């Protein structure tokens, strides 16, 4: 069973939650904000287990973390496989297709149908075990405006002892009316060293663990999924391509072509995992990820570069990568985005005057 005491590198968030829990002042709505893969969902589940336990162990010392008893029916259900607790409700993106009556959904947005069936209706009923109800909404920023508006009343007039936790890496995508009714708890990126240790503890080869931790930008979840999907190989390739640009040498691979192949491979992995997901969506997701990988060597160089002209070129290249990501979000034609990016990088780094 996961408890709040097991959460690492999020002391500030855990302290806030424990203080509110001890004072019996947990708000009905919480927003856990921060990049994905840093412990938001694990913390939400651990808080849920504590919240639902009727006999929690609350240490006298204020600095010690309260834990669920681990013995009661609620704790046993929380610890069981697939979390069958009747008062624990997880809202996640795979439910989108399940509730999609039109069959047209690409499984991207949490619609009003999902929120009504999975949150609003069950929230109106009494808890099954008479000790509160928990709702955790993953990727809450993917809720449509209609879905968010529909849940306002539930947030405003919660039935007794219910706790709604919204997980998001984009809190500003939530309506102001939602944000103002919830307490925001911010989660921080995990230190590289800690990610490396955690990976090694999970029996991952130390060399691979060190490499993945360097790429992970504070997300243990990202490091684990990249290792799992073997994405460190393309990450290294794009680093090499960008490094060649940086020393003014034309890269061995054609940039648009490399991105296309890498994204196709990424989409293939995602579609094998979930054959009903959208290929276009997965391709764009892959491209976004590789653009992030491509920006990393540039950012690293930015920290040590002192020559003003080279600094300027680095900034322009980083801007170009982030503009490409924006264009992808705006559904601009993929091939056009990468041809523009490629010609910009060539102008910046390979022109004879540069």
Q: Which residues of the chain form contacts with Zn ion (CB under 5 A)?
A: 53, 68-69, 72, 75
Say how far apart CA 340 and CA 345 lie, in whole Å: 9
Helix axes 255-273, 334-350, angle to 10 degrees: 140
Nearer to Zn ion, 1 or 146 (CB): 1
**Nearest-approach distance from CB 78 to Zn ion, in angstroms:** 8
**Nearest-approach distance from CB 79 to Zn ion, in angstroms:** 10
Nearer to Zn ion, 69 or 120 (CB): 69
Nearer to Zn ion, 54 or 189 (CB): 54
Angle at 215 between CA 210 and CA 219, to 5 degrees: 95
Helix axes 220-228, 232-246, angle to 10 degrees: 100
In sequence order, the 6+-apart residues with CB closer than 8 A to the CB of 89 are: 118, 119, 122, 133, 134, 135, 136
Residue 132: which region, alpha, beta or left (left: phi > 0; alpha: psi -120 to 50)?
left
**Nearest-approach distance from CB 53 to Zn ion, in angstroms:** 3
Place of tokens 């029916």: 73
Q: Under a CB-based contact definition with an 8 Å cutoff, are residues 10 and 43 in contact?
A: yes
Nearer to Zn ion, 18 or 334 (CB): 18
**Nearest-approach distance from CB 301 to Zn ion, in angstroms:** 52
**Nearest-approach distance from CB 77 to Zn ion, in angstroms:** 10
Nearer to Zn ion, 75 or 231 (CB): 75
Nearest alpha carbon to residue 114 among 138, 134, 133, 78: 138
Nearer to Zn ion, 84 or 248 (CB): 84
**Nearest-approach distance from CB 55 to Zn ion, in angstroms:** 5
């Amino acid at each position: 069973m996961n408890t709040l005491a097991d959460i690492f590198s999020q002391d500030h968030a855990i302290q806030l939650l424990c203080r509110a829990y001890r004072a019996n002042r947990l708000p009905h709505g919480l927003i856990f904000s921060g990049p994905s893969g840093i412990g938001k969902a694990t913390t939400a589940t651990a808080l849920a287990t504590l919240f639902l336990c009727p006999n929690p162990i609350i240490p006298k010392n204020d600095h010690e973390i309260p834990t669920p008893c681990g013995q009661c029916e609620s704790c046993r259900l929380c610890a069981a496989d697939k979390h069958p607790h009747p008062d624990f409700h997880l809202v996640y993106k795979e439910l989108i297709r399940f509730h999609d009556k039109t069959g047209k959904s690409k499984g991207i947005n949490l619609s009003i149908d999902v929120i009504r069936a999975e949150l609003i209706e069950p929230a109106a009923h009494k808890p099954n075990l008479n000790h509160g109800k928990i709702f955790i909404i993953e990727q809450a920023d993917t809720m449509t405006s209609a879905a968010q508006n529909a849940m306002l009343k539930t947030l405003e007039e919660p039935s007794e002892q219910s706790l709604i936790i919204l997980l998001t890496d984009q809190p500003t995508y939530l309506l102001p009316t939602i944000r103002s009714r919830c307490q925001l708890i911010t989660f921080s990126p995990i230190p590289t060293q800690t990610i490396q240790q955690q990976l090694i503890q999970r029996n991952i080869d130390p060399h691979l663990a060190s490499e993945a931790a360097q790429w992970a930008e504070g997300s243990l979840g990202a490091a684990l999924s990249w290792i799992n999907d073997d994405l460190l190989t393309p990450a290294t390739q794009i680093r090499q391509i960008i490094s060649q640009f940086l020393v003014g040498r034309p890269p061995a691979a054609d940039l648009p072509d490399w991105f296309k192949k890498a994204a196709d491979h990424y989409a293939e992995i995602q579609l094998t995992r979930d054959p009903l997901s959208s290929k276009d969506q997965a391709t764009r997701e892959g491209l976004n990820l590789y653009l992030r990988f491509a920006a990393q060597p540039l950012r690293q160089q930015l920290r040590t570069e002192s020559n003003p002209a080279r600094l300027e070129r680095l900034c322009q290249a980083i801007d170009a990568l982030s503009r490409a990501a924006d264009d992808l979000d705006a559904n601009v034609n993929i091939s056009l985005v990468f041809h523009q990016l490629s010609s910009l990088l060539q102008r910046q780094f390979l022109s004879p005057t540069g």
